[in-house]
Structure 1
């Protein structure tokens, strides 16, 4: 049996006061229930990335900063990605944009999905991320999870008595399944395509 695709669930906010951990653990539990992918939680806090200051993208020149190289090696070890996207002022976090810029060849020809939250369900940040992903030669999937409005209030820290994320299973579960189905399908197809490309280049 072919090895399951490895998918990274990437937490994109690094603030001390972030809310990201709650939806991240919810999504991780749901994704780990699947038998068609392996999922690992990847936290940008753990990589201490500098602001991008290389001579050029690693598509052209090997990066010199050891933390950037460690990040690139981590990114390269996966067959696809699910980004936990916090919307800051109608965009993705600066930490995520910097992390995306620190790698290029490592993202390519792999699918990406997202779980977004914030104003309008994080939709504006999600669309910006999809555009960036296209430039990095990822394959953004159509389905996504958007936590906004009254659903966000029910489970977020803004509510003095927040409910557990599972309270939104009936609202978000279908979207999460659709997104994961699409990421899984493309991860399998593109993994085999990359292997074939490597065989032809050998």
Structure 2
């Protein structure tokens, strides 16, 4: 089971989501998207909360309002973190999540600590948490199938891009050949390089003249 929430409308159309338990967290870690940003209460147990950015966006594009929605939701879904003030929430791109065979189910590390950011959450803001909970939807998605569908679409798009690139290159090659041929033809037609019929006639002896010379 995955829970989906809608961020405040003024920040744009963004979906925030989290798994029901560690097993769902494991699936989310495995089949995440490049646009996913992962949130967790630092040094405490909490839900794994994600926000899916728009294609082409990065962690630097997260607005203040969207960030606040995410950190409030992750704080509210931490048994210990929900009870105390001034906690830290860490967040990082999904691609920075590191999973090894020795880790427990749902446990995760990082490839690079430099890509992990921290934000201080002073207290729970019920207005935000309640608003998010009113948008809550439960679904049982096939995360693997969703990821594979995106991979397939990206491969098809890549193939289309390469075909179009090859077509443009072929058109450019033909155009260059055409222009080179035109330049060559124009060179042959330059006035200085042309010989008139009169010039040809004056430069060549007639058959009678050749016969007289021979005699």
Larger radius of gyration: 2
Q: TM-score per shorter chain, which class?
A: under 0.3
TM-score if structure 1 supplies the norm length?
Answer: 0.28
